[in-house]
A = this chain, B = another copy of it.
Amino acid sequence: MTEFAPPKKSRRSSGALTLRDVAALAGVSPITASRALNSPDQVSAALLKKVHAAVARTGYVPNRAAGALASSRSRLIAAVTPSTVMSVFMGTIEALNAALFDADYQLMLGQSSYSAAREETLLEAIIGRRPDGVFLTGILPPGKGRTMLVASGIPVVETWDLTPTPIDMLIGFSHEDIGADVANFLAKKGYKRFGLVRAADARADRRARAFKAALAKRKLPQPTEINVGESRSIQSGRQSLIKMLDAAPNVEAIFCSSDLLAIGVLMEAQARGLRIPDDLAIMGFGDVQFAAEMSPAISSVRINSEEIGRIAARYLIDRAEGRVVNEPIVNVGYAIIERDST
């Protein structure tokens, strides 16, 4: 038995290569190997080269769970999104993920659910990973989940909405302003009888309320409202128009809470031979790619969802690295995009 026998792994070891092995191979101490990988400017060129050679030879990949434990920095960001396959939120998540990746952070994904209990479980699972930041789609209402998150001290960004009482940082826009602006926009075009086709979510609710208030202010009649519940499909848009025409045959302009619903309304209108926008005007929300690609192209409210993701990434990274975020509340605004359907 020589002194050069391969290191005996203890019974508990996972058997994988460790920094200690690489350091031994390079003839340096583990801490020097660590520095060579994490802060190379603190290590002399000669040792740096030796360590890199050892890493290349062995294919060593540092264990970040160990690093996270020792340094209290996980380089992990958790995002919570609603579970809607084709939702407008995907653009945000992709932009967020791309920016995080460039800064060597990882994204953990959690799907929020409508059950409060599951939501708490999700938040607890997230906090258990000790992420350096949490991205929330929407704002988190008071409750046990919010309390836990606040208590954890983890930096949080809430998004897609505005509130005077955010947990921490906030990147969004005003749904009230949108509702009012759309009402005024349509009223100025001369429409007088309005319809609302909307999903059952809190943000759509606030847009709807502001829409109605703006009409009232103009002494215009209140809109006929069709609530499609949780569903957000083209199909439910079609059915909504059927119901709408039943309840209000002479409706002139419909504001939909998503582009998908707007497309459904458009298709049903076309199937019935209604001319768009002469017989019926349609306004969507979200401005997803194919709203513009329909014919006639659908007018919509554009949200810069990628920008929300990019700013969120920057803020979360800044906070993770101890920097102060000067403008923790950002209103990214929106734009009414007028196309052929209004």
Nearest CB to that of A111 among chain B residues? B97
Q: Is the CB of A62 within 8 A of B109?
A: no
Stoichiometry, copies per complex: 2
Contact B122 A101 (CB under 8 A): yes
Question: Considering only CB atoms, which chain B residue lies closest to A233 in the complex?
Answer: B289
A35-63 CB contacts (< 8 Å) to partner B = 59, 61-63
User: Counting CB contacts under 8 A, is A163 at the interface?
Assistant: no
Q: With a CB–CB cut-off of 8 A, which chain B residues contact A128?
A: 61-64
Known: A59-B151, A293-B234. A14 touches B72 (CB 8 A): yes
Q: Count the A residues whose beta carbon is within 8 Å of the partner chain — how many?
A: 56
Query: Are B293 and A267 neighbours in the complex by a CB distance under 8 Å?
Result: yes
A152 within 8 Å of B (CB atoms) = yes
Does A30 touch B at the CB level, under 8 Å?
no
Q: Is the CB of B111 within 8 A of A108?
A: no
Footprint of B on A, CB under 8 Å? 14, 16, 59, 61-66, 68-69, 72, 74, 83, 85-86, 90-91, 94, 97-98, 101, 104, 106-111, 122, 124-125, 127-130, 148, 151-153, 233-235, 238, 260, 263-264, 267, 270-271, 288-290, 293-295
Apart from A63-B130, A235-B293, 14 more pairs, CB < 8 Å: A61-B127, A61-B128, A62-B128, A65-B68, A65-B129, A97-B111, A101-B122, A101-B125, A104-B125, A107-B110, A109-B109, A234-B290, A264-B293, A271-B295
